[in-house]
A and B are shown apart, each in its own frame.
Chain A
Amino acid sequence: GQQLNQSPQSMFIQEGEDVSMNCTSSSIFNTWLWYKQDPGEGPVLLIALYKAGELTSNGRLTAQFGITRKDSFLNISASIPSDVGIYFCAGQTGQGAQKLVFGQGTRLTINP
């Protein structure tokens, strides 16, 4: 089945550092989404990408939809303590009420 390979699996950084994570797949996706999940809570949508090559920002977050449509990255600039959590990429291949396929997640830990 479709799989998304997300890396790194975990990151330990200092407050104020920039963060970069990415997802790759052997399949082409029509939409890429990035979510953040806190323990015991539901994933929160951060950024949605719809077109190959698209670069979108949301505050300190920037994400890009890869040209090949098989990858995406998320950057977080100047990290702060509330950025701690698990970040998931998710892709959708079809149109209309179709499933999201998730990456394995990147656990971000910030040392103050």
Chain B
Amino acid sequence: AAGVIQSPRHLIKEKRETATLKCYPIPRHDTVYWYQQGPGQDPQFLISFYEKMQSDKGSIPDRFSAQQFSDYHSELNMSSLELGDSALYFCASSLAGGPEQFFGPGTRLTVL
């Protein structure tokens, strides 16, 4: 079965640079969620979109923004990167905002 696709899988950036992470949900899923997971930590919710509208918002820095496009894929834009932004970033998708969230393989962001 098709799963959530995230790209890139690995990303290395310098401080103060920008990064764009992409997420392609499971086919027919219209809801996407973004989570950040630091080393040895549990995933922390950033933001979610349902039918291209922002649905819920967590502790997402003002330097980050996200959107969902007409084909339901989503992009997380990160600016003025800091060392502390180094983490695994997961996208998850669900059908019609349902509670069962299916996670992608993640993007490992390293900020040097």
Interface residues in chain A, defined as those with a beta carbon under 8 Å from any beta carbon in chain B? 30-31, 33, 35, 40-45, 48, 50, 88, 92, 94-105
Contact = CB atoms under 8 A, between A and B. Distances in A.
A31 B43 contact: no
- Size band of the interface chain B makes with A: 20 to 34
A100 B48 CA distance: 11
Contacts of B31: 97
Nearest to A50: B99
Interface of B: 4, 31, 33, 35, 42-45, 48-50, 55-56, 58, 88, 90, 92, 94, 97, 99-106, 108
B42 A102 contact: yes
A97 B102 CA distance: 12
B43 A102 contact: yes
22 contacts: A40-B106, A41-B106, A42-B90, A42-B104, A45-B101, A45-B102, A48-B99, A88-B43, A96-B55, A96-B97, A97-B55, A97-B94, A98-B48, A98-B56, A98-B97, A98-B99, A99-B33, A99-B58, A100-B43, A102-B44, A104-B42, A105-B42
A95 B98 CA distance: 8
A42 B106 contact: yes
Contacts of A35: 103
A33 B55 contact: no
A31 B99 CA distance: 7
Given A42-B105, A43-B43, 20 more contacts: A31-B99, A33-B101, A41-B105, A42-B90, A42-B103, A42-B104, A48-B100, A88-B42, A88-B43, A92-B99, A97-B48, A97-B55, A97-B56, A97-B97, A98-B97, A99-B45, A99-B48, A99-B58, A103-B42, A104-B42
